[in-house]
């Protein structure tokens, strides 16, 4: 059975819904998931794949609950044992659309972490619910786990 660490960055709570739905869908596929609503690096299974679901707050900032986790990642020099995927949820009417997702991806890449697939960006102004977009994207993620 595969394992997935789902790391949530959410200021207002909307991203949590997407992460929880993903966790349920993954569990249905036989993948064990751990949701991290207050992510702490010392709680992460480094041998598991990581899925980071994050919104962007303010002027392109990380949500408050994700900031300590990012600070801990910044202190590390090498994450080449980490495989990851990222979902950014944002509002494309802002100049800083999905900056948190883009920035954490660049941070992980700079530490030699390995992306499983390209970053998924969800625009809350789109016609589809974020949960529906993620459900359609899930088979692509499953191929890489």
pLDDT in tens, 103-133: 999 999 999 999 999 999 999 888 788 888 8
**CATH number of this structure's domain 3-140, picked from the four choices 3.40.50.150, 3.40.190.80, 3.40.50.360, 1.20.1250.20:** 3.40.50.360
Rounded Cα distance between 34 and 1, Å, is 13
d(CA 124, CA 73): 28
Domain residue extents for the chain: 3-140
Structure tokens of 90?
């944002």
Other Cβ atoms within 10 Å of 40 Cβ, number: 11
pLDDT at residue 145, as a whole number? 83
């Amino acid at each position: 059975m595969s394992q997935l660490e789902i790391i949530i960055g959410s200021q207002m709570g909307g991203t949590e819904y997407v992460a929880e739905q993903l966790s349920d869908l993954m569990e249905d596929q036989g993948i064990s998931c751990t949701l991290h609503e207050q992510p702490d690096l010392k709680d992460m299974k480094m041998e598991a794949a990581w899925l980071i679901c994050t919104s962007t707050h303010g002027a392109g900032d990380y949500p408050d609950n994700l900031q300590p986790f990012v600070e801990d990642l910044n202190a590390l020099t090498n994450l080449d044992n980490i495989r990851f995927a990222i979902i950014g949820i944002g509002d494309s009417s802002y100049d800083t659309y999905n900056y948190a997702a883009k920035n954490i991806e660049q941070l992980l890449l700079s530490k030699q972490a390995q992306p499983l697939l390209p970053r998924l960006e969800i625009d809350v102004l789109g016609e589809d619910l974020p949960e529906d977009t993620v459900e359609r994207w899930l088979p692509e993620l499953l191929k890489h786990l």
